[in-house]
Amino acid sequence: MNTTLPALGAMILFWALTPITIAYVKNDFSLIFQVWARYTISSLALWTVVLSRRDLRLVLKDQARQLVRMLIPVLLMALATLSFQLNYTYCFFLIDPGFGILLYQSQVIFSIILGGLFFTAERKLLKSRKTLGAIVLALAGAAVVILFQNQGVSFTFNRGILFALAAALSWSFVGVVNRGMVKDRLPPLITISLVFTAVALILIPAVLLDTDSVIADPGLTKWIVLLGSGILGNAGGQGLYYYLLPRVGLITAASVQLLVPFLTGLFSYLFFREQITLLQGAGGLVLLAGCRMIIKEKAKQMKTAPPEGLDQALS
């Protein structure tokens, strides 16, 4: 039985529900505690999978020195991931999930711009008229999404917009570190297990100092939602992405993620009655179309460009 299509559907669903779960429990758990709880439970889930697979256990045993050499890249990825998750989570404390997840798609633009700073091949990509046109198109769509939050033009700049954009920028930096320093030195499942564990450990002092981690009595349902979002959204989403990458290719795996805002918008309407204006919806479609064009141009470039690391890019 072909498991690719169900896996794609599950990945999209898990990531689409994550903003909904954040918004659902935002009044019951503090920002720091939410992030720590998600990464703690997701790292436990990932290590359970890693240790249950004989091939990955052998990698851990045979590449001990490689693991030591990977400490700095893993730590950098963990810090960037932490920045991403704090900004991503907090933006849904301030703005509606459908609106926020649309803005987050700008990470496609940031990934190209950051890639141009660190990788020679990406600089060539930025010189392409098609790429520049796609970036302008995506930025125009993002501007429409931000400006037409109400029926007319809105100039109220919610701080959540900044946090959504900061999350997109941070996640793009995770990709730069992964491409330039981590690459394929370890199986992706082991790499993300190490990164998630590092994030959880880094947050322990902040959690211990946070006197309002759990507000009042959230109840069993909200505890299940919080921990379930870590297992499904973090561990499940990331695990399925790396499972699908060799099966469907980068362009498909990246493109289907553009479906996430549609599902998140639907769920946000059902749970929170979030209204997306007609112009916002049109701007969102333009933004996603621009992102799709960027992904296609990047996929073409990756087929012809030789592999390079940060050391080559910066020399």
Euclidean distance between CA atoms 142 and 79, whole angstroms: 27
pLDDT at site 306: 52
Tokens representing 109 are 């633009």
Cβ contacts of 181 within 8 Å, gap of 6 or more: 72, 73, 76, 309, 310
For position 200, what pLDDT does the model report? 96
Residue 215, token pair as written in the block: 């507000």
Q: What Å distances lie between residue 309 and 70, 115, 178, 187, 299, CA to CA?
A: 14, 11, 10, 18, 18
pLDDT-derived band at 154, boundaries 50, 70, 90: low
- Tell me the pLDDT tens digit for each residue of 160-216: 889 999 999 998 888 888 877 777 778 888 889 999 999 999 999 999 998 888 887
296 SS3 class:
helix
Domain boundaries, given as residue ranges, for the chain: 4-314
pLDDT at 19: 95
DSSP string, 30-73: -HHHHHHHHHHHHHHHHHHHHHH-HHHHHHHHHTHHHHHHTHHH
- The token pair at 149 is 């939050």
Calculate the alpha carbon distances from 203 to 43, 67, 182, 243, 281 in Å.
13, 22, 23, 28, 37
Q: How far apart are CA 90 and CA 22, in angstroms?
A: 9
pLDDT, average across residues 269-288: 84
Q: For residue 155, name the pLDDT band (cuts at 50, 70, 90).
A: low
- The pLDDT score that the predictor gives to residue 41 is 96
pTM of this prediction?
A: 0.85
d(CA 96, CA 91): 8
